[in-house]
Amino acid sequence: MQRRTWLKLGAASATLLILAGGTVALLQPGLQQGRLSPGAQEVFTSVGRAILDGTLPKEPAANQAALAGLLQRIDALVQALAPHAQAELSQLLGILGTGVGRRTLAGLAPDWRSASVAEVQQALQSMRSSRLGLRLQSYQALHEIVGAAYFSDASTWPALGYPGPLKI
């Protein structure tokens, strides 16, 4: 094939993906009334486990409580976002919540719930090192939201070695 044919094929594929993803995101948004949908909660639970691996508590009950607290703080963070940022995040989570979107954007074959921590970490690394701006921006959004929401709770500060704010 000629280079021009490859470029046309790539542009057509990207356009199709954007239209399909946008349609899916409108039909199944990642945010419902300013809160994480069940599918978005699965995305953030899995991404949280992968990003915070080694930081989350080891015992299952404490681990589940930490992840539940993470989701609550993400909900609070999302509600504080500007409406246009909420809309973009809703679209991203809606797309990642679908099989096609998860495979295309994150490069993750198993669904979020059944993917191992290592598989999600590998998918995130592939997004982080991607030359495609959309994948890189998606990674940055997920990474920063998880980090900000998790470490905004004072109970997580010792894991960072942060003693807390100075008393004045």
pLDDT tens figures, 72-122: 999 999 999 999 999 999 999 999 999 999 999 999 999 999 999 999 999
Residue 168 lies inside a defined structural domain of this protein? no
Burial class (CB in 10 A: 0-12, 13-18, 19+), 80: exposed
Residue 3 lies inside a defined structural domain of this protein? no
Residue 81 lies inside a defined structural domain of this protein? yes
- Whole-model pTM: value is 0.81
Distance CA 93, CA 89 (A): 6
Distance CA 119, CA 133 (A): 22
Contact 137, 88 (CB under 8 A): no
User: Cβ atoms within 10 A of the Cβ of 111, count?
Assistant: 14
- Domain range for 39: 8-153
Number of domains in the chain: 1
Residue 98 lies inside a defined structural domain of this protein? yes
Instruction: Using the predicted structure, report yes or no on whether residue 21 has a pLDDT greater than 60.
Output: no
Residue 95 lies inside a defined structural domain of this protein? yes
User: Cβ atoms within 10 A of the Cβ of 40, count?
Assistant: 27
Residue 2 lies inside a defined structural domain of this protein? no
Residue 96 lies inside a defined structural domain of this protein? yes
